[in-house]
Amino acid sequence: IYQPLRWLYLGYGRDQGSMEFQQSAIATPGQVTTRRLSYRNDFYTFGFAVGFDPTKRKVAPILAVYGKIPVRPGEFNGSGVGAGLGLYF
């Protein structure tokens, strides 16, 4: 009735893009400059879920855990983890 591991994934990915913001100059009041920063962050990802066998009942609870770990931690990337509880139909 209990399936310890419903699914598992391991992976490698990349976030990339740019951020743009405006900055007021301290030396010359009233002058606004726009700055653009590009970023590219590689990361490892993992996830798994555990739960009960849905073939025994029409609805079964499931618990999922996932994470994202940067290959090289930097200023604009960091680890992220999460968990979820749901129902499998």
Q: Splitting the chain (89 residues) into consecutive groups of 10 residues, what average pLDDT does each group show?
A: 73 90 72 84 90 72 89 80 85
* Contact (Cβ atoms closer than 8 angstroms) between residue 13 and residue 42: yes
Residues 6+ apart with CB under 8 A from 81: 65, 66, 67, 68
pLDDT at 11: 94
56 φ, ψ (degrees, to nearest 5): -85, -30
* Contact (Cβ atoms closer than 8 angstroms) between residue 47 and residue 82: no
pLDDT at 45: 93
